[in-house]
Amino acid sequence: MKISQYFIDTNIFIYSVGRDHPLKSNCASAIRRIRDEGIRAILNTEIIQEILYRYQSMRELPLGIKLAREAMALSSKILPVTEGDLSLAIKLLESHPRIDTRDAFHAATMINNEIEEIISTDSHFDLIPGIKRIDPARRG
């Protein structure tokens, strides 16, 4: 039997703790569900890098470090971004140019590790065959 696992996009973490935003409550609920229901949350190293980059660019690195540690503690596994992921990310960008570059890396990591579902607010993941996006705004 295959264990359900979900890739968790960076925006879920950032919206869940950030300033007031229409997605804050839903993303915070998603984080609580992951924690409380023992959902198998998968990240890649780029998720942690994105969190740190975002907060450093806002001159709030200590908050970014705290959030990065919380994301790492919440995850069941943190995957590396491999050479195979890089190659697939480039192919995804060629065939789906509307996808953000960083998200192409996430999608490639997912595909290469047979992770089919992502919790994300980014609708462009809907463009990628084989990936099902769980929108926290629709889950409450």
Total domains in the fold of the chain: 1
Strand partners, 134: 119
Strand partners, 77: 42
> What are the pLDDT digits (tens) for 91-114?
999 999 999 999 999 999 999 999
Q: Is the pTM of this model over 0.85?
A: yes
Distance CA 72, CA 49 (A): 11
94: in domain: no
2: in domain: no
64: in domain: yes
89: in domain: no
92: in domain: no
26: in domain: yes
Residue 4 CB partners (closer than 8 Å, separation 6+): 39, 40, 117
| Structural domain that includes position 19 | 8-80+117-135
98: in domain: no
> What are the pLDDT digits (tens) for 6-57?
999 999 999 999 888 888 999 999 999 999 988 899 999 999 999 999 999 9
Query: Coil, helix or strand for 8?
Result: strand
Rounded average pLDDT over 60-85: 97
Distance CA 3, CA 124 (A): 25
DSSP string over 32-91 = HHHHHHT-EEEEEHHHHHHHHHHHHHTT-HHHHHHHHHHHHHH-SEEE---HHHHHHHHH
The amino acid at residue 118 is I
Distance CA 2, CA 56 (A): 38
122: in domain: yes
